[in-house]
Structure formats: C-alpha cells, structure tokens
Amino acid sequence: MIDVREATKLISSEIINWRRELHQFPEIGLELPQTAKYVSDQLTKMQVKHETGIAKSGIVGLIEGAMPGKKRTIGIRADMDGLPIQEKTGLPYQSKNKNMHACGHDGHTAMLLGAAKILNANKDLFSGNVKLIFQPAEEGPGGAKPMIEEGVLDNPKVDCMMGLHLNAVIPELKSGGIAICEGPVMPSADIFTIKIKGRAGHGGAPHLTVDPIVISAQVITALQTIISRELKPMNAAVISIGKISGGTVFNAIPDEVIMKGTVRAIEKEDQKRIQQRIKEIVEGVTRTMQGDYELQYDFGYPALINEKKITDHVTRSAAKIIGDEMIHVIKKPVTMGGEDMSFFLQAVPGTYFFLGAKDEKLPVQYPHHNARYEFDEDVLWKGSAILAQSALDYLTQTSTDL
C-alpha cells in the first residue's frame, strides 16, 4: 500500500501553485467559466475522466479502481466559488478582478486536485470508484442541490460523501490539525424579507402618519425574544437583521421600511417554529401600530449533519496522516455559518470537517469573508492526503461496519 503522507508531501508545491493560480481569477455564483476550465484542464492532464457543465459550472470526475472486489463509490466535494469582495491582501498572486477567494475555496479546489492526483496514480490499489465533485455557488445561490438534481450522485451511485473546509478561527484547532464531530455541525440558513407599510408625512407632525421606522424598531426588538424567550436555551439559533432601508430625508416619515435578515438553527423544529413566529410577531406588531406588512421567508440550506460511521472512518484515516494529537473532536457546532454540503449529506451518509489553517506568521489573522483573509498554505497537502487516505481506506475496507 502506498504511503499517502509521503506521496502527497512530494506534490505540496504543485497543490500550492494550483491554489495561487486559482486565487487570481475568483468567480462568483454558478457562472465560473475560467475556474471550471482551469480545473478541467488539470484533470485532463492527469487523465481523469470528467464531465463539465453540471449546474452550469460544476465538474464531476471519476476515478475507477482497477482491483477486483466490492464496487463501492465515495464522493469527495470541493466548492470553487469566490465572493464579491475587493481583495486587500497585497499578495503577489492577489485577485486580478473585483472578486476574492476570501473563504478558502481556492484551497479546497486545490486540495481535491491533489487528492485526485494521488488516487488516480494508485487506482490499481483499490476497487470501486472515487467521484470528484467540484461545485459552484456555495456562497449562493447554492450549487449542491442543482448538481444533485442533475444526477451527480448517480451512475455510479455514491455510497458516502466527505468534504472539508479550511479554518483559521477555531481557537482549539492547531494549524494542520482537523476538527471533526458526529451529528450537527452547522445550522440551517434561511433568508427573510419584511416590508413594513406605514403612512408618510412630515417629521414634525407624526400624529398624522403611521411611522414604519418606529414599527420596524419594535419588530426588530420583538423578533429577538423568539431566541431569548421561546427556544430552549441550550439550542443554538440566531435571528439577525442584516439590512434595513427606509426614508430619504431627515424630516419626513416614509411610507415603508424594508428589512432583510437571516435565521440560523440547528434543530429542524426550531427552524420551523422561528419561521412561524416571525410571521405572527410581524403581523401582531404592525397591526397593533396601525401599519401593514409583507413577509417573504425562504428556506435555504438545511442543517449539516455528519453520520457517525463515516465520521469515525475519516477520523481514523486522518490520524494516519497527522497523528491522533492533531485531531480535535467537536462536541457541538462551532459556527453558525451555513454550508450547502448539507444537501449532499441529506442524500447520502457522510462527513464534513475543518482543517486548521491559521497562519502564525501573520501579525493579524483576519477571518473568513474579510478582504485581508489569508491562510497557511503549508497545510494544503495535509488536506489532500486526508481525503486520499480516507478514500483509499474506504475502498479497501473489508469490514461490514461501512
């Protein structure tokens, strides 16, 4: 059996180079023509069979093991999209357009290319298949669901999935280590828009108006009581208003105010309750204050939940690469950020983990989605190696536990 750790270390510089090249032309949403072409070109050089144009820019590669035996299929997913953020790192390979890879997806793509190179070079050592899923639009509007709808989990049918995310902000997570857990990892992520309707008039004569700004203030305060007074205190959930707009001048009360926000919840029952209570509270407050409203609530990414057996399997495989001491077991979710890997893990059992990438050389470690975000590139080979080792172990596994 190949020494995956040593084999992947040998291509570390290549993985870093892939990442740096991808970093220079970040694209957003479902339209990633330059990124998709780059990934396709690399897979072609490796002689990995693949399909392009899935959910517009998605790519699915297939590595078929040459050994006889049980023909199981493991899927490995990496997101490829960037964010509409103007980069301010000053790096020599800084983005050349108005977007930025401010969440490490360039690293995710490079790590999957690294795992692909190792697995494809050693396909005579395993039976079954590895599906390489390069996904667009994780940052929105979501690429996992349309890729599933277009059949990426079929022909051959995927039996389990795994994926990872670079992380530089979990305090307990060492650079080059992983954080992993069974069960809930990240919450559902919903979006809502509230339009508060009032009656415009002069700011000096509020008695002749219905003030939607005052109504909005009451609504915002009341919505927070859903979390603080209606959910179990140990259940993680968030309601945040991220945008509010209304009015044009200082001395006039406007006709309407529009608010946009997000709901995050780990428990599905809480997600449903919050949605219902937002409607009831908005209606109650606005009608009591003589206004009216419109509410649009969109269910977004579901909660991301890891399956125990696959999580345990990846933990064991990761230990072969980084050692037990570099594995941090998460007892509860560490972030309320959403992740559409959740759609894959709803469809098939799997796991999603974090790879520590804090760059100790930086005076300040800026968080994800920041214009100055950077990470430690030296950990990328470890991510590739963990993915490759986990796939090899799964496809050579004779135990009925998996």
Query: Active-site positions?
Result: 301, 377
Is there a contact between 251 and 202 (Cβ–Cβ < 8 Å)?
yes
Q: Record the tokens describing residue 100, joined without a space.
A: 């930025």
Q: Residue 50 in contact with residue 61, Cβ under 8 Å?
A: yes
The answer to whether the CB of 393 falls within 8 A of the CB of 126 is: no
**Residue 14 dihedral angles phi and psi, to the nearest 5°:** -70, -40
Q: What phi and psi values does residue 384 have, to the nearest 5 degrees? A: -60, -45
Q: Which of 138, 187, 155 is nearest to 64 (CA)?
A: 155
Q: What is the DSSP string of 293-314?
A: EEEEEEEEEPPEEE-HHHHHHH
Q: Which bin fits 154, alpha (ψ -120 to 50), beta or left (φ > 0)?
A: beta
Task: Give the C-alpha separation, 125 to 114, whole Å.
Answer: 17
